[in-house]
């Protein structure tokens, strides 16, 4: 680097564990990267788009150590199409211009390629011209050396086409985060993950990893079908086969005894039988797992830890059978779940509101560029919608009030007390009547899990749903029934298998605590925040009924 062009400051920090500088640490700077002029850095990324121009003469090797006033990213010894490259780039000079074409030399041999290179660290790409907002100045980057190059087969690569609709991208879940839109969605998911954890830490929640495999149906029979787990056995060994083999071996031992054969042969046969018997026990142990299910909710298990540690939380996958057509629900979804000891319905409704406000404020600060992109490309109301939760009030009405209000609203005369609110009813409440998030609470007990606390009216229970525009219910919460006789009564009423709930009933038998909490549908909420319409586009590898292909 020549002294007259000494860099303004030291180079941006290397991305740890990959010896490269992220695009975000260049283009995400307040100066748009201007302070880095004269620097030489290594970047790694994927070519988002490329244009090729012919040059009049072979490109000059760069003057020893000195950056030149060049007009575009120059890539040496390479042929398009190619997809990925690590290139050494160093900054050129700032210069004013209007269009990139105006500064390209007359097109002859050999070629210069202008590339846009993104590495997933931000929406922006590294490119020869920076956006207009930089006072129409541009920073020019010159590729000095290609360190590594991964090609693509352009005819077969699904992302070769520009602006592929999200529906088509679903078949390429392993490629789609390479698109600007899905990469933004994934960064927004990351932001919400951080936001949720920050909320937990600020409010003294302890992380408890609730189990995924369970024998306890947390809904108490409210979900129609559960996903069952069984262990597959090596080579399809079956317990019956082994049992048959045991019979045969026992017979052989009897024969050996009768025939008075030598002791060694008998001992070996006995030893062999012992091994087979052990295997049979192992296999049968595995087969008993067939009654194990994938958990639909971790809240029952969390409650046992809240009943010892106070405030606890969990973030993990939960499972449900769902229609393959659903746009808001998947068979495998990540849920944030919390459970608070010494708390009642009112407390967890407050917690749910605070939680939603907190994560919306966080994402509005942490993901400005990604939200702007989603606003521009997907849904112009993205930020307004976040603002609605972050700053505005929530409406809080009982289920009974909700039914009354819905009956008064035109076209909603069909609904009757006792029925669940449909997606359409929810939309009328939050989008037409109240025009803000609505908490509906005190539902008929038949609509809620078996352990929601019965209210004094004998008909409703201490449960609540937080309903937001666009995606409907994102949080379901309740206060648990802490009275042993009431809870046993509900289990009997619903015809549930009492045995599987004994451990949960134990929490009432010994040191019962008032407890409340909620589940937050993380993936569904990403739809709210991104403006997307299908939860399959907001989830890294969506799982619905039918076999996943990865």
Binding positions for a copy of itself, 293-352, rule CB under 8 A: 293-294, 301, 304-305, 307-311, 316-317, 319, 321, 324, 331-332, 334, 340-343, 347-348, 350-351
CB of 41 to a copy of itself, least distance (A): 13
Q: Which stretch binds a copy of itself (CB under 8 A): 72-80, 93-101, 205-213, 426-434?
A: 205-213
> Which residues, 6+ apart, have CB-to-CB distance to 529 below 8 Å?
188, 192, 360, 363, 371, 382, 385, 386
Draw the binding track, 352-391, toward a copy of itself (x: CB under 8 A; -: no contact).
Answer: --x-------------------------------------
CB of 113 to a copy of itself, least distance (A): 16
Question: Which of 82, 101, 200 has its CA nearest to residue 148?
Answer: 82
**Can you tell me which of 114, 141, 356, 507 binds a copy of itself, judged by CB under 8 A?**
507
DSSP 137: E
CB of 210 to a copy of itself, least distance (A): 7
CB of 421 to a copy of itself, least distance (A): 23
**Can you tell me which of 41, 210, 403, 527 binds a copy of itself, judged by CB under 8 A?**
210
CA distances for 550 relative to 156, 175, 182, angstroms: 18, 12, 18
Which helix (H) or strand (E) segment is 169 a member of? Answer: helix 166-169
> Which residues, 6+ apart, have CB-to-CB distance to 543 below 8 Å?
330, 331, 332
Beta partners for residue 141, in sequence order: 91
| Rounded-to-integer distance, Cα 113 and Cα 75, Å | 6
Residues 508-527 that bind a copy of itself (CB under 8 A): 509-514, 522
Residues 214-243 that bind a copy of itself (CB under 8 A): 214-216, 224-234
Pick the closer one to a copy of itself by CB: 145 or 291.
Answer: 291
Q: Which stretch binds a copy of itself (CB under 8 A): 126-134, 197-205, 239-247, 383-391?
A: 197-205
| Rounded-to-integer distance, Cα 339 and Cα 207, Å | 11
Buried (b) or exposed (e) across 292-315, using 16+ Cβ within 10 A? Answer: bbbbbbbbbbbbbbbbeebbbbbb
* 163 sits near a copy of itself (criterion: CB under 8 A): no
Beta partners for residue 47, in sequence order: 117
Whether 542 contacts 330, CB under 8 Å:
yes
CA distances for 407 relative to 107, 275, 400, 464, angstroms: 71, 70, 11, 20
Q: Which stretch binds a copy of itself (CB under 8 A): 109-117, 450-458, 466-474, 542-550?
A: 542-550
Pick the closer one to a copy of itself by CB: 450 or 504.
Answer: 504
> Which residues, 6+ apart, have CB-to-CB distance to 312 below 8 Å?
205, 206, 207, 208, 302, 305, 306, 338, 339, 340
**Can you tell me which of 136, 251, 275, 291 binds a copy of itself, judged by CB under 8 A?**
291
Burial of residue 515 (CB within 10 Å: 0-12, 13-18, 19+) is buried
**Can you tell me which of 394, 450, 504, 528 binds a copy of itself, judged by CB under 8 A?**
504
Residues 94-123 that bind a copy of itself (CB under 8 A): 119-121
CB of 167 to a copy of itself, least distance (A): 18
| Rounded-to-integer distance, Cα 17 and Cα 213, Å | 35
Phi, psi (rounded to 5 degrees) for 28: -85, 0
Pick the closer one to a copy of itself by CB: 53 or 197.
Answer: 197
**Can you tell me which of 65, 108, 211, 418 binds a copy of itself, judged by CB under 8 A?**
211
Beta partners for residue 126, in sequence order: 117
Q: Which stretch binds a copy of itself (CB under 8 A): 286-294, 356-364, 446-454, 467-475?
A: 286-294
Pick the closer one to a copy of itself by CB: 110 or 211.
Answer: 211
Q: Which stretch binds a copy of itself (CB under 8 A): 54-62, 80-88, 270-278, 410-418?
A: 80-88
Buried (b) or exposed (e) across 140-164, using 16+ Cβ within 10 A? Answer: bbbbbeeeebeeeeeeeeebeeeeb
| Rounded-to-integer distance, Cα 68 and Cα 90, Å | 10
Pick the closer one to a copy of itself by CB: 71 or 539.
Answer: 539
Draw the binding track, 402-421, toward a copy of itself (x: CB under 8 A; -: no contact).
Answer: --------------------
Residues 176-195 that bind a copy of itself (CB under 8 A): 177-178, 183, 186-187, 189-190, 193-194
CA distances for 517 relative to 42, 115, 235, 318, 345, angstroms: 48, 51, 45, 16, 8
CB of 30 to a copy of itself, least distance (A): 19
Which helix (H) or strand (E) segment is 191 a member of? Answer: helix 180-202
CB of 245 to a copy of itself, least distance (A): 19
**Can you tell me which of 100, 104, 152, 246 binds a copy of itself, judged by CB under 8 A?**
152
Q: Which stretch binds a copy of itself (CB under 8 A): 14-22, 100-108, 431-439, 463-471?
A: 14-22
DSSP readout, 326-347? Answer: -SS--SEEEEEEEEEET--HHH
Pick the closer one to a copy of itself by CB: 469 or 477.
Answer: 477
Burial of residue 22 (CB within 10 Å: 0-12, 13-18, 19+) is buried
**Can you tell me which of 51, 62, 100, 175 binds a copy of itself, judged by CB under 8 A?**
175
Binding residues for a copy of itself, rule CB under 8 A, total 117
Residues 428-487 that bind a copy of itself (CB under 8 A): 482
**Can you tell me which of 101, 132, 167, 201 binds a copy of itself, judged by CB under 8 A?**
201
Residues 238-277 that bind a copy of itself (CB under 8 A): none
């Amino acid at each position: 680097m020549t002294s007259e062009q000494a860099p303004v400051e030291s180079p941006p920090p290397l991305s740890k564990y990959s010896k490269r500088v992220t695009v975000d640490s260049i283009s995400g700077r307040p100066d748009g990267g201007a302070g880095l002029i004269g620097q030489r850095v290594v970047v790694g990324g994927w070519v988002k788009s490329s244009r090729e121009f012919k040059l009049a003469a072979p490109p000059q090797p760069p003057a020893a150590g000195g950056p030149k006033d060049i007009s575009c990213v120059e890539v040496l010894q390479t042929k398009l199409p190619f997809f990925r490259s690590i290139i050494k780039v160093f900054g050129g000079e700032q210069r004013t211009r209007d269009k990139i074409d105006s500064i390209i030399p007359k097109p002859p041999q050999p070629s210069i390629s202008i590339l846009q290179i993104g590495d997933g660290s931000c929406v922006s790409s590294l490119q020869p011209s920076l956006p207009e907002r930089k006072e129409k100045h541009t920073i020019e980057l010159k590729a000095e050396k290609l360190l590594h190059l991964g090609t693509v087969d352009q005819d077969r690569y699904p992302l070769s086409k520009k602006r592929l609709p999200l529906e088509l991208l679903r078949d390429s879940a392993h490629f789609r985060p390479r698109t600007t839109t899905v990469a933004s969605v994934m960064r927004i998911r990351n932001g919400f993950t951080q936001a949720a954890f920050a909320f937990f830490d600020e409010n003294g929640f302890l992380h408890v990893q609730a189990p995924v495999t369970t024998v306890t149906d947390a809904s108490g029979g409210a979900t129609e079908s559960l996903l069952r787990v069984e262990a597959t056995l090596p080579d399809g060994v079956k317990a019956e086969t082994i049992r048959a083999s045991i019979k045969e071996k026992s017979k052989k031992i009897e024969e050996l005894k009768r025939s008075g054969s030598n002791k060694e042969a008998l001992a070996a046969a006995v030893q062999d039988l012992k091994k087979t018997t052990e295997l049979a026990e192992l296999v049968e142990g595995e087969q008993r797992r067939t009654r194990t299910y994938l958990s639909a909710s971790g809240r029952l298990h969390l409650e046992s830890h809240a009943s010892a540690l106070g405030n606890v939380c969990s973030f993990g996958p939960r499972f449900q059978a769902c229609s393959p057509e659903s746009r808001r629900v998947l068979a495998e979804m990540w849920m944030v779940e919390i459970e608070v000891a010494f708390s009642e319905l009112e407390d967890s409704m407050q917690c749910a509101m605070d939680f939603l406000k907190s994560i919306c404020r966080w994402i509005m600060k942490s993901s400005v560029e990604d939200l702007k992109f989603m606003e521009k490309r997907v849904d112009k109301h993205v930020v307004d919608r976040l603002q609605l939760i972050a700053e505005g009030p929530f409406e809080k009405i009982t289920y009974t009030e909700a039914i009354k209000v819905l009956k008064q609203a035109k076209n909603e005369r069909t609904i009757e007390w006792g029925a669940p609110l449909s997606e359409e009813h929810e939309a009328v409440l939050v989008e037409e009547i109240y025009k803000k998030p609505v908490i509906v609470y005190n539902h008929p007990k038949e609509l809620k899990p078996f352990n929601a606390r019965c209210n004094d009216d004998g008909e409703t229970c201490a449960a609540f749903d937080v309903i937001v525009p666009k995606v409907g219910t994102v949080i379901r919460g309740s206060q648990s029934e802490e009275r042993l006789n009431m809870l046993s009564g509900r289990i009997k009423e619903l015809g549930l298998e009492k045995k599987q709930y004994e451990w949960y009933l134990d929490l009432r038998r010994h040191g019962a605590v008032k407890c409340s909490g909620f589940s937050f549908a993380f993936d569904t909420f990403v739809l709210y925040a991104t403006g997307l319409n299908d939860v399959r586009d907001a989830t890294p590898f969506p799982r619905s009924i039918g076999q996943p292909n990865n």
